[in-house]
C-alpha cells in the first residue's frame, strides 16, 4: 500500500511531466507557426549561453596584451582578428555579451517591476493619485530615451549598476502605460466587482485578480524592450558615459581609440557590431512573434 507521502510525490511528478509535455508541444507549435520568431528565440538562447560560458569558452585572454599580434586580420589562430593592442576580438566579443545581456535583462526586470507596480496601483486607486502619477510618466516620456539616460548617468555616475538603474527608469514609463491600460479594462470586469462584494482587500484584488491578467501585454512589452535597452547601453558605452573603461561590453568595443583604426582594420568594429545587431534582431523578432501568440486579437494572423 502506498503511503500518503508516496502518493503526493507521484502526483507532483505527474504534474511536472504534464507541464513539461505541454511546454514542449507549445514550443514545437510556436516553431512551426512562427519560424522567424523561432529563429529569434534560438539567437537569444545562443547569446545567453555564450554570455554564461564566456569565462570557460574564450580561446584567449580578453585582456591579454601582445605586441607581436597587433592588428592581425582574421586567421586560424584569431578567428575575429586582433585589435591595436594585440587582444583577441573573438574573446572580447564573447565577454562583451555578458555585460550587454546582463544590462538588458536586469534593466528589463527592474523596469517591469516598477512599471507593473505603478501601473496597477494607478489604475486601481485612480483619482488624484492616478493624475499625479500619469503627469510624472508624461514628463519622463517627453524626453528621448538616450538623452534621458545620459542625463541620469551624469547624475548617478559611471558604473554598471548605475547604467542598469538608469535604463530601468528610462523604460519604466512605457511599461507603466501598457500595464495601466490593461488594468483599467480588468478593473471593470464582473469578477473584480464580485471580489469587492465578498470583502477582498485592495492588495488581494491587485495581486490575485488584476496582476495575473496583465501578464500577456507585460511579457510582450518587456520582450520588445530588451533589444532597445541593449542598444541604449551600447550607445552609453560608445559615448563614454556607460560602463567603466575596464569593463568589456559591445558598446565599449566600438568606442574610444578603437574608432581610429576602423579604416585600416575594419574587423575591430565589424564583429562586435554584428553581434550586437544580430542579438537585437533576434530579440525583436522573438518579441513580435510572442505578441502575435499571446495577444488574442492577433492570434491566427
Predicted model pTM: 0.76
φ and ψ at residue 191, rounded to 5 degrees:
-70, -20
Mean pLDDT of 183-210: 84
- Cα–Cα distance for residue pair 246/62, rounded to 1 Å: 11
Let me know if 281 is exposed, middle or buried by CB neighbors in 10 A (0-12, 13-18, 19+): middle
pLDDT greater than 50 at residue 1: no
C-alpha cell at 75: 586567421
Spacing of C-alpha 108 from chain mean position = 5
CA distance 234 to 145: 13
Looking at domain 38-58+83-294, does it have CATH number 1.10.10.10?
Answer: no
Q: Which residues, in sequence order, are bridge partners of residue 143?
A: none
CA distance 59 to 56: 9
Helices (H), 34-88: 35-57
pLDDT at position 54 is 85
Describe the crossing of helices 267-294 and 35-57 by its angle, rounded to 10 degrees. Answer: 130
Cα–Cα distance, 34 to 285 (Å, whole number) = 10
Residue 61 pLDDT exceeds 80? yes
The domains of the chain are located at: 38-58+83-294
From residue 50, alpha-carbon distances to 117, 158, 207, 221, 276 in Å are: 33, 26, 36, 25, 13
Higher pLDDT pick, 273 / 240: 273
- The Cα 120–Cα 203 span in angstroms is 11
* CB 51 within 8 Å of CB 101: yes
For residue 12, the model assigns a pLDDT of 76
Asked which of 10-14, 51-55, 262-266, 278-282 is least confident by mean pLDDT, the reply is: 10-14
Q: Retrieve residue 73's grid coordinates.
A: 586580420
Residue in 54, 13, 183, 56 with CA at minimum distance from that of residue 115 = 183
Q: Give me the pLDDT at residue 142, please.
A: 86
C-alpha cell at 251: 558598446
Amino acid at each position: 500500500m502506498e503511503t500518503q507521502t508516496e502518493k503526493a510525490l507521484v502526483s507532483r511528478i505527474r504534474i511536472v511531466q504534464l507541464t513539461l509535455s505541454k511546454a514542449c508541444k507549445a514550443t514545437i507549435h510556436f516553431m512551426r507557426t512562427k519560424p522567424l520568431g523561432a529563429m529569434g528565440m534560438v539567437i537569444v538562447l545562443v547569446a545567453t549561453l555564450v554570455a554564461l560560458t564566456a569565462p570557460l569558452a574564450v580561446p584567449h585572454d580578453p585582456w591579454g596584451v601582445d605586441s607581436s599580434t597587433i592588428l592581425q586580420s582574421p586567421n586560424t589562430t584569431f578567428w575575429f582578428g586582433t585589435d591595436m593592442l594585440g587582444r583577441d576580438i573573438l574573446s572580447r566579443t564573447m565577454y562583451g555579451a555578458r555585460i550587454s545581456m546582463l544590462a538588458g535583462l536586469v534593466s528589463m526586470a527592474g523596469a517591469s517591476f516598477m512599471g507593473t507596480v505603478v501601473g496597477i496601483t494607478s489604475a486601481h486607486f485612480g483619482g488624484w493619485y492616478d493624475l499625479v502619477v500619469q503627469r510624472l510618466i508624461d514628463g519622463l516620456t517627453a524626453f528621448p530615451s538616450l538623452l534621458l539616460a545620459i542625463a541620469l548617468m551624469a547624475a548617478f555616475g559611471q558604473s554598471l549598476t548605475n547604467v542598469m538603474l538608469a535604463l530601468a527608469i528610462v523604460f519604466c514609463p512605457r511599461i507603466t502605460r501598457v500595464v495601466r491600460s490593461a488594468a483599467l479594462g480588468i478593473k471593470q470586469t464582473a469578477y473584480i466587482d464580485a471580489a469587492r462584494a465578498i470583502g477582498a482587500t485592495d492588495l488581494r484584488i491587485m495581486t490575485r485578480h488584476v496582476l495575473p491578467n496583465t501578464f500577456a501585454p507585460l511579457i510582450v512589452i518587456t520582450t520588445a524592450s530588451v533589444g532597445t535597452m541593449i542598444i541604449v547601453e551600447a550607445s552609453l558605452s560608445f559615448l563614454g558615459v556607460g560602463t567603466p573603461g575596464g569593463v568589456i561590453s559591445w558598446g565599449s568595443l566600438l568606442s574610444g581609440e578603437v574608432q581610429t583604426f576602423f579604416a585600416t582594420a575594419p574587423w575591430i568594429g565589424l564583429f562586435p557590431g554584428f553581434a550586437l545587431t544580430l542579438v537585437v534582431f533576434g530579440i525583436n523578432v522573438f518579441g513580435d512573434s510572442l505578441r502575435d501568440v499571446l495577444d488574442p486579437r492577433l492570434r491566427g494572423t
